[in-house]
Chain A
Amino acid sequence: MKKVLVALLVALIAMTGVFAGGNSDGADDGTTTLTWAVWDYATTPYYDALINAYEASHPGVNVEVIDLGSADYQTALQIQLSGGGSEFDVVAVKDIPGYNNLVKAGLLANLAPLAERDGIDTSAYGGIVEQVTVDGGFYELPFRSDFWVVFYNKDLFDAAGVDYPTNDMTFEEYDALARALTSGSGASKVYGAHYHTWRSAIQLFGILDGKHQITDGGDYSYLKPYYEMAINQQNDGVVQDYATLKTSNIHYSGVFYNESVAMMNMGSWYIATLIAANNDGTSDAENWGIVKYPHAEGVEPGTTLGTITALAIPTGTDKQEEAWDFVKFVCGAEGAEVLAGTGSFPALTNDEINNIIASTPGFPTDENSKEALNVAQLYLEMPLHDKSAEIEVVLNEFHDQIMTGNMSIDDGLAEMGRRVDEVLAN
């Protein structure tokens, strides 16, 4: 028995020894290593391009990338930062609710004083910085900004003998086009349009007139016309059934590659993906174009939804100045050029950047597609709000309930308003 006790004791001591070992990787050879938390590192072309460009102009700095995965990125990031300890010096921020959580928990450094000190012109970001400002401070700087357009398959339009969509298209015209392009059945079925399962694909048509904030709660009946349009299209077989898409993981890129949808509203990130897929033969939709988002009467064409990807500096890092320098580079003019070179849309945008993207081999050559890159007004998919995470969950839930037919449009929107109000009240 004694032997066992001794053995146990030894095992315990051995274990504490391992704990005490810890991780100390502080070999100091004059170089600085910046650790950058991102997602989808392997499949995103611009991370390496940005790092290479930065390291080339800043000798003595290494940027190390940590990939936290895409699906639960914000969760993983905030857990890593929780308790104030950070092994990251720079972090990418994926969405607004996640940004809001990090700011509320005091985990991000305020960049406003730094930007002011260094004379950064925040108005160059087209109002985005103002939209992420909390109590006079902003805690992230956008480097990538995507906006929604309508992708269409020119071959399918030609086959149906219908004129291509234009950059000035009302919702009525859009709906009529979608119906005109629907044909066939079974394997040769062509759907006139396609809505991915995200709520933003349908719900946010309703905020483009600038009269409503999706986070306001209360009366959501202004979304009704758009849900009616989508549900009718669904019932008439103009678009694929939401329930089918949702339960079978059907991805929007696949249906467009397969030439089974004629038009698809989607973010500008899809441009680079589609070009790559056409190049390596994954996609059959080689003859495609883009036009501006459809608009309601009286709303300027080019009004659309936007989603931003930003960089932030955790309060826990002890390399704040070095990190800020990297953030300035990536979000600034140099970074913007690198991003555009990989076919992605930088947040710092101008005609020159659009020209770089429009001249990417594989980008449609018609004038309309190039013109579609000019955004008139951008609304964030999710505006910054103290309760944005909670509201987002409610909006998703009732989008799902309406689209699966579990609730009528009126009931769904009424419930949605009531539940958002409840979130706001608590």
Chain B
Amino acid sequence: MMIESSGQKILKVLLYVFLIIMAAIMILPFLWMISASLKQDRDVFTFPIQWIPEEPEWANYSKIWTQIPLLTYILNTVKLTVIVTLLQLFTSSFAAYAFAKLRFKGRNALFLGYVATIAVPWQAYMVPQFIMLRSMGLNNTHLAIIILQAFSAFGVFMMKQFYEGIPTELCEAARIDGMTEYGIYAKIMLPLAKPSLSTLTIFTFVNTWNDFLGPYIYLTRDAKKTIQLGLRSFIGQYSSEYGLIMAGSVVTMIPVIAVFLALQKYFVEGVASSGLKG
């Protein structure tokens, strides 16, 4: 954008003021979280809010590793998250191609069915699903979580919407050149879909990372548990260790932020900048 007049300059200043206020609103709770993570449990919820603890309780950050097997939980979570994300990326981007660019019997009905099932709350079919998976011997296995998370309709829907923005002419040209549909998917669609693939990566990553209910139902043994289960275990029947919850939340948020930062550059590298123009 060119800066043409002083009016635009003022606009720009206003924009920055707005952004800074917004950033403050977004970040304030996290500053509180960090502050609370350095307090004793009994001081976490006192008024007026004390932003900088008088005697920072650094021990919280060492306790979270010893009081629960946090390292095991993190490794489990990393394993699940990586596998689920990869599977999700592949199966969703693959299926979405058919929905977006191919014509076949039952396409619309199938697609609507896919989307509509997203609307069924998990609470409603959790028990039948659990009984089914248990009878397959999947209770207390990571495979159960992988299976539940990896084949979501969400990813298919999202990828389809993005593919539809890619000009169909590109596919047609490739077909005339004798490329198979698989070739078109791999060589034309995927490279163009980087922004949406990275978006899907982030979402799947965050979802699996922060998933509580799935692991809670399926993973009851310490050796299999994930981070979110560990964090909840600080909430007890008669006492809750909020200092530790906050310290754990801070630590486990770091990888997610790192993934976001790493993938962020792909949001701005889409069709427009890759030199291909419809």
Question: What mask results when residues 101 to 136 of chain B are scored 1 for a CB within 8 Å of chain A, else 0?
Answer: 000000000000000000000000011001100111
In angstroms, Cα B135 to Cα A40, docked, is: 28
Does B74 interact with chain A (Cβ within 8 Å)?
Answer: no
Question: CB within 8 A of A253: which of B136, B182, B239?
Answer: B239
User: Assuming A251-B45, A254-B45, A273-B239, is B68 touching A80 (CB within 8 A)?
Assistant: no
Report the minimal beta-carbon distance from B104 to chain A, rounded to whole angstroms. Answer: 15
Question: CB within 8 A of A269: which of B42, B47, B130, B238?
Answer: B238
A282 lies within 8 A of B239 (CB): no
A70 lies within 8 A of B216 (CB): no
Does B143 interact with chain A (Cβ within 8 Å)?
Answer: yes
Question: CB within 8 A of A83: which of B131, B141, B237?
Answer: B131
Specify the chain B residue showing the minimal Cβ separation from A309. B237
In angstroms, Cα B236 to Cα A68, docked, is: 11
Q: How many residues of A contact B (CB 8 A)?
A: 41
Report the minimal beta-carbon distance from B271 to chain A, rounded to whole angstroms. Answer: 26
A71 lies within 8 A of B42 (CB): no
A-B contact pairs, 15 of them (CB 8 A): A1-B180, A42-B233, A67-B222, A68-B220, A69-B232, A69-B233, A79-B217, A80-B220, A82-B127, A85-B135, A94-B237, A248-B47, A254-B44, A258-B46, A283-B42
Does B85 interact with chain A (Cβ within 8 Å)?
Answer: no
Question: CB within 8 A of B141: which of A23, A40, A69?
Answer: A23
Report the minimal beta-carbon distance from B247 to chain A, rounded to whole angstroms. Answer: 16
Does B221 interact with chain A (Cβ within 8 Å)?
Answer: yes
In angstroms, Cα B204 to Cα A282, docked, is: 40
In angstroms, Cα B219 to Cα A66, docked, is: 10
Within 8 A of A (CB), among B128-164: 130-131, 134-141, 143
User: Assuming A79-B126, A257-B42, is B136 touching A251 (CB within 8 A)?
Assistant: no
B42 lies within 8 A of A70 (CB): no
Chain B residues with Cβ under 8 A from A250's Cβ? Answer: 45
Question: What mask results when residues 251 to 274 of chain A are scored 1 for a CB within 8 Å of chain B, else 0?
Answer: 101110110000000010110010
Question: CB within 8 A of A251: which of B134, B181, B229, B240?
Answer: B240
B180 lies within 8 A of A22 (CB): no
In angstroms, Cα B238 to Cα A68, docked, is: 16
Does A249 interact with chain B (Cβ within 8 Å)?
Answer: yes
Question: CB within 8 A of B216: which of A76, A270, A283?
Answer: A76
User: Assuming A76-B216, A83-B131, is B236 touching A70 (CB within 8 A)?
Assistant: yes
Does A159 interact with chain B (Cβ within 8 Å)?
Answer: no
A19 lies within 8 A of B240 (CB): no
Chain A residues with Cβ under 8 A from B136's Cβ? Answer: 19, 22
B217 lies within 8 A of A66 (CB): no
Report the minimal beta-carbon distance from A411 to chain B, rounded to whole angstroms. Answer: 30
A76 lies within 8 A of B217 (CB): yes
In angstroms, Cα B45 to Cα A353, docked, is: 36
Does A18 interact with chain B (Cβ within 8 Å)?
Answer: yes
User: Assuming A1-B180, A83-B134, A253-B42, is B240 touching A66 (CB within 8 A)?
Assistant: no
